[in-house]
Amino acid sequence: MRLTTKGRFAVIAMLDLAMHAQSGAVNLTAISERQRISLSYLEQLFGKLRRAGLVESIRGPGGGYVLSHDAAQINIADIIAAAEDTLDATLCGGNADCQDGTPCLTHDLWANLNKTIDSYLRGITLQCILNQETYRKNSNEQKSSLEQPITLINLH
């Protein structure tokens, strides 16, 4: 099983889109610049994400992409599935015909791993990650303000 660049970049791009959604449609050039992902690569990914019903395209001036659903309704498993097709640890594609038409000795192990990963990723939405990112930024800002030197005022 491998999570390829397609899946990773799809999640990153969808998070970027969700972060900037409040200001309307987001164009891929902006995502490309912010995330340092090739524009042509993003165009391919967003074609897949659109076909999967995760984003909608807006044409014309001020156009770009918007999420098809609220960020709390889009889970990471669906994003990866749209970009990658499948995330599978078995050698047989889940068909249980790994070894001459029968399951190999470790088929159930890898099939259960697939189920665990899928379940984990289905439990995480874009909103969950956005909340984590907001918390992380706020924590860093608070830590940074605490680390500022204290200026003593001479009262004499």
> Is 21 domain-assigned?
yes
> Is 155 domain-assigned?
no
Provide the domain limits for residue 140: 5-146
The reported pTM is 0.80
Residue 23 burial (CB count, 10 A): 7
Q: How many CA atoms lie within 13 A of 3 on its CB side?
A: 14
Give me the CATH number covering residue 118: 1.10.10.10
> Is 115 domain-assigned?
yes
Q: 142: exposed, middle or buried (C-beta count within 10 Å: 0-12, 13-18, 19+)?
A: exposed
60's CB contacts (< 8 A; 6+ apart) are none
**Angstrom distances, CA of residue 114 to CA of 4, 54, 80, 109:** 15, 22, 13, 9
What is the number of domains present in the chain?
1
Taking only the tens of pLDDT, the chain with its 156 residues reads 567 889 999 999 999 999 998 889 999 999 999 999 999 999 999 999 999 999 999 998 888 999 999 999 999 999 999 998 677 888 888 888 888 888 889 999 999 999 999 999 999 999 999 999 877 777 776 666 556 565 555 554
> Is 91 domain-assigned?
yes
Q: How far apart are CA 128 and CA 76, in angstroms?
A: 10
